[in-house]
């Protein structure tokens, strides 16, 4: 369908101004001209998916995207769920995903997903319709302060002009749109906010003829490859060669075969220790070290402290690892990430290297600028010390995993052992989404070494508020089976994530139902409170089940509360089906507490 707007004449005074400035006189620019240009620019710059939450003030935006043939539009009423579904799509595709909503409180509901996208560096394009500025604070309907609404959690905020009848205003709007889309992906990705004040009329009149629009002005961003200078490499490689205890920690990221290969060779040829978080997606080959909590909770962990620490990727799950490295700070810490802020997670940062990690580790492996070692005897001694450090990590890793396997074989049935069986039963290849609180912690303790499973989780801000919606978006982005493991409170909190018409048949939801906030009985601190306070103000027990929700949203429903039947049920649960499926695993909270206490005693 061609994109069109009514053809009307400029007022005569505006025409005289345009002629005086040698500007081309165009037909009157309406809301629909501006928003159709916006949709055109979005499509040109790689946006393939938009999620719209219906509203009247946003009608020109909705019409524009509905008529844009190169963008897939979905309608999700709940703005909070819409934003997390978009987040799930962006997690999997790493492409810009658009969000459109009306004015007033509607954009405020984007907040949780925007914060998560900001810390995961995911390109969400937030397009919020707004009232004209003169009507803000005048008690008109659906008005609030929307400019720079997300300013602390977006790459940039933009405001389009409210009136684009003058050619200069249209030029400003179009270059602003190009800049906004460019900032969402370069030099690193992240959400951007475009606030769009719109005057009435908001809907195109049915009896007005339309003519094709000319293509809008588009400014493209030429990518630049960032590289380290020769001098910098000389300094880094000198330190690399002179440090015996070298530890590389990889945090949250999507699979990266080039990086994985470079790290594998650094481990094999240069005795580097590679410690990978579960969300680093390096577990597929099973060749690195995982499950940091297991090793660092064993006695005499101080022998594992590094001299040189290199980190890349996003956050890590293990709190034990963070505390360990803050206590045993390395002499040198390089963080490798293209970003404008250098996170000093371990309080030891000495160098922020703003380059891509696959480039950095590939060049580190080559070591082409490293100085010549003058004394072969010293070089041999250093190599032996490096090998010994790697051996200490490997030995502890093997001991810890053997102890965990034995513990899980003997433990009573609860959510810890249930998670163990679920992870073992996941089909390969497939995608795994992990809810926050205990599910992601259990999964990190148990691990997925050697399994062809891509793992994603909302660990940028670690909230429970959009787990279901995020998994829906992830499932919509791929044909592979996508499984969410989530706690009961997180599931109930985000049940609106299923309130729409997009129910991917490759989606599986596993709800660990301990009937309350079970994590507060397990972690240090809350568990020390008097039982009445812990129950009334933290664990908040309930008697709800998932069955009715599954019925309401037309999902297949399964239920389990014992170990023997769970193993058999999981095989059936993961079979292909014509609907999404939900498995509710009921566990006893007191048993969960006892099993987790046993685990902590075993690992101390």
Tell the residue number behind the tokens 């995993």, with chain if given.
Answer: 401
**Parallel, antiparallel or unpaired: strands 210-212 and 4-6:** antiparallel
Q: Provide the 10 A C-beta neighbour count for residue 401.
A: 18
Looking at residue 25, what is its pLDDT?
A: 43
Q: Which of 23-37, 531-545, 557-571 has the lowest mean pLDDT?
A: 23-37
Say whether pTM exceeds 0.85. yes
Residues whose CB falls within 8 Å of the CB of residue 490, separated by 6 or more in sequence, listed in order: 435, 436, 437, 464, 465, 467, 468
Tell the residue number behind the tokens 């999997």, with chain if given.
Answer: 92
**Identical fold between 4-212 and 230-393:** yes
> Under CATH, which architecture does the 4-212 domain have?
3-Layer(aba) Sandwich (3.40)
Q: Provide the 10 A C-beta neighbour count for residue 234.
A: 12
Q: Is the model's pLDDT at 417 over the cut of 60? A: yes
Residues whose CB falls within 8 Å of the CB of residue 279, separated by 6 or more in sequence, listed in order: 251, 252, 253, 314, 316, 317, 434, 455, 456, 457, 459
Q: Provide the 10 A C-beta neighbour count for residue 167.
A: 18
Query: What would the 3-class secondary structure string for 410-434 be?
Result: HCCCCHHHHHHHHHHHCCCCEEEEE
Tell the residue number behind the tokens 């690193």, with chain if given.
Answer: 188
Looking at residue 596, what is its pLDDT?
A: 87
Tell the residue number behind the tokens 């163990």, with chain if given.
Answer: 420
Q: Is the model's pLDDT at 3 over the cut of 70? A: no
Residues whose CB falls within 8 Å of the CB of residue 9, separated by 6 or more in sequence, listed in order: 15, 27, 28
Cα 169-171-173 angle, rounded to 5 deg: 70
Classified as helix, coil or strand, 453 is: strand
Yes or no: say if 99 and 83 are a contact pair by the CB < 8 Å rule: yes
Q: Which of 165-179, 201-215, 328-342, 588-602 has the lowest mean pLDDT?
A: 201-215
Cα dihedral 115, 121, 125, 131 sign: positive
Query: Which residues are registered as beta bridge partners of 556?
Result: 581
Residues whose CB falls within 8 Å of the CB of residue 417, separated by 6 or more in sequence, listed in order: 408, 411, 563, 595
Tokens, residue 181: 């889309």
In the structure, what pLDDT confidence band is assigned to residue 407 with cuts at 50, 70 and 90?
very high
pLDDT (average), residues 256-276: 95
Mark out the alpha helices in 244-285 (DSSP H runs): 257-270
Cα dihedral 589, 590, 596, 600 sign: positive
Prior bond of 235 cis (ω within 30°): no
Mark out the alpha helices in 283-375 (DSSP H runs): 292-296, 319-327, 357-366
Yes or no: say if 517 and 539 are a contact pair by the CB < 8 Å rule: yes
| Sheet containing 308-312, strands listed edge to edge, beginning at the edge strand earlier in sequence | 273-276, 246-250, 308-312, 332-336, 351-353
Distances (CA, A) of 334 to 291, 314, 472: 22, 14, 36
d(CA 165, CA 488): 53
Looking at residue 29, what is its pLDDT?
A: 61
Prior bond of 255 cis (ω within 30°): no
> Under CATH, which architecture does the 230-393 domain have?
3-Layer(aba) Sandwich (3.40)
Q: What value does the mean pLDDT of the chain take?
A: 89
Q: Which of 11-15, 277-281, 297-301, 352-356 has the lowest mean pLDDT?
A: 11-15
Looking at residue 373, what is its pLDDT?
A: 54
Structure-derived torsion over alpha carbons of residues 278, 399, 598, 463, reported in degrees to the nearest 10 = -10
Looking at residue 12, what is its pLDDT?
A: 42
d(CA 202, CA 160): 16
Write down the domain spans for the chain.
4-212, 230-393, 411-603
pLDDT (average), residues 547-553: 96
> Under CATH, which architecture does the 411-603 domain have?
3-Layer(aba) Sandwich (3.40)
Tell the residue number behind the tokens 């709940």, with chain if given.
Answer: 78
Query: Which residues are registered as beta bridge partners of 248?
Result: 274, 310
Q: pLDDT digits over 487-513, tens only?
A: 999 999 999 999 999 999 999 999 999
pLDDT (average), residues 72-77: 97
Taking 3-state DSSP, the helix, strand and coil percentages for the chain, each rounded to the nearest 5, stand at 45, 15, 40
Looking at residue 88, what is its pLDDT?
A: 97
Looking at residue 535, what is its pLDDT?
A: 82
Burial bucket for residue 92 (CB in 10 Å: 0-12, 13-18, 19+):
buried
Q: Which of 8-17, 65-74, 171-180 has the lowest mean pLDDT?
A: 8-17
Q: Is the model's pLDDT at 2 over the cut of 50? A: no
For 495, the enclosing helix (H) or strand (E) is none
Looking at residue 4, what is its pLDDT?
A: 42
For 549, the enclosing helix (H) or strand (E) is helix 547-552
Q: Which of 37-41, 145-149, 328-332, 360-364 has the lowest mean pLDDT?
A: 145-149
Q: pLDDT digits over 190-239, tens only?
A: 999 999 999 888 887 776 555 556 788 898 888 888 899 999 999 999 99
pLDDT (average), residues 327-351: 94
In the structure, what pLDDT confidence band is assigned to residue 23 with cuts at 50, 70 and 90?
very low
Q: Provide the 10 A C-beta neighbour count for residue 20.
A: 8
In the structure, what pLDDT confidence band is assigned to residue 64 with cuts at 50, 70 and 90?
very high
Looking at residue 10, what is its pLDDT?
A: 36
Beta strands in 498-560, from DSSP E residues, in sequence order: 507-513, 556-560
Q: Is the model's pLDDT at 523 over the cut of 80? A: no
Prior bond of 229 cis (ω within 30°): no
Q: Is the model's pLDDT at 348 over the cut of 90? A: yes
């Amino acid at each position: 369908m061609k994109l069109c707007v009514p053809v009307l004449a400029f007022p005569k005074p505006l025409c005289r101004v345009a002629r005086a400035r040698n500007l081309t006189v165009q037909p009157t620019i309406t809301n629909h001209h501006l928003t159709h240009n916006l949709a055109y620019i979005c499509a040109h710059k790689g946006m393939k998916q938009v999620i719209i939450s219906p509203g009247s003030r946003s009608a020109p935006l909705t019409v524009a995207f509905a008529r844009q043939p190169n963008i897939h539009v979905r309608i999700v009423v709940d703005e909070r769920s819409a934003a997390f579904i978009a987040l799930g799509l962006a997690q999997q595709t790493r492409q810009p995903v658009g969000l459109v909503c009306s004015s007033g409180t509607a954009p405020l509901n984007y907040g949780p997903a925007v914060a998560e996208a900001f810390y995961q560096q995911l390109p969400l394009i937030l397009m919020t319709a707004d009232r004209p500025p003169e009507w803000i604070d005048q008690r008109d309907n659906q008005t609030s302060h929307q400019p720079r609404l997300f300013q602390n959690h977006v790459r940039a905020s933009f405001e389009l002009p409210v009136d684009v009848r003058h050619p200069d205003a249209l030029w400003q709007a179009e270059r602003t749109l190009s800049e906004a889309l460019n900032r969402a992906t370069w030099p690193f990705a992240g959400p951007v906010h475009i606030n769009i004040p719109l005057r009435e009329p908001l809907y195109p009149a049915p009896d007005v003829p339309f003519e094709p629009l000319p293509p809008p002005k588009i400014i493209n961003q030429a990518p630049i490859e960032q590289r380290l200078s020769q001098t910098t490499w000389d300094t880094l490689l000198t330190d690399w060669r002179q440090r015996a205890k070298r530890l590389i920690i990889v945090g949250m990221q999507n699979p990266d075969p080039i990086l994985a290969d470079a790290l594998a060779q650094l481990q094999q040829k240069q005795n580097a220790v590679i410690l990978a978080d579960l969300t680093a997606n390096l577990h597929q080959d099973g060749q690195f070290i995982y499950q940091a909590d297991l090793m660092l909770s064993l006695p005499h962990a101080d022998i594992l402290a590094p001299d040189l620490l290199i980190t890349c990727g996003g956050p890590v799950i293990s709190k034990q690892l963070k505390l360990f490295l803050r206590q045993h700070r390395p002499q040198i810490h390089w963080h490798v990430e293209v970003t404008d802020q250098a996170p000093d997670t371990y309080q030891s940062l000495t160098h922020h290297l703003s380059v891509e990690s696959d480039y950095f580790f590939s060049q580190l492996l080559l070591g082409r600028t490293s100085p010549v070692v003058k004394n072969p005897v010293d070089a041999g001694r250093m190599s032996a010390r490096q090998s010994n450090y790697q051996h200490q990590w490997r030995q502890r890793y093997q001991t810890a995993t053997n102890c965990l396997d034995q513990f899980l074989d003997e433990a009573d049935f609860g959510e810890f052992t249930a998670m163990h069986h679920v992870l073992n039963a996941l089909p390969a290849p497939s995608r795994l989404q992990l809810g926050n609180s205990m599910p992601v912690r259990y999964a990190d303790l148990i691990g997925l070494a050697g399994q062809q499973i891509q793992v994603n989780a909302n660990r940028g801000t670690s909230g429970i508020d959009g787990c279901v919606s995020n998994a829906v978006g992830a499932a919509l982005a791929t044909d592979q089976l996508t499984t969410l493991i989530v706690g009961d409170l997180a599931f109930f909190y985000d049940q609106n994530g299923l309130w729409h018409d997009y129910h991917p048949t490759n989606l599986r939801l596993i709800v660990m139902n301990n009937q309350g906030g079970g994590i507060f009985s397990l972690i240090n601190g809350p568990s020390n409170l008097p039982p009445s306070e812990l129950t009334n103000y933290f664990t908040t027990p309930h008697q709800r089940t998932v069955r009715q929700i599954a019925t309401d949203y037309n999902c297949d429903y399964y239920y389990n509360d014992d170990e023997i039947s769970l193993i058999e049920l999981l095989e059936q649960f993961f079979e292909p089906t014509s609907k999404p499926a939900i498995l509710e695993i009921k566990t006893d909270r007191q048993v969960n507490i006892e099993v987790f206490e046993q685990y902590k005693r075993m690992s101390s």
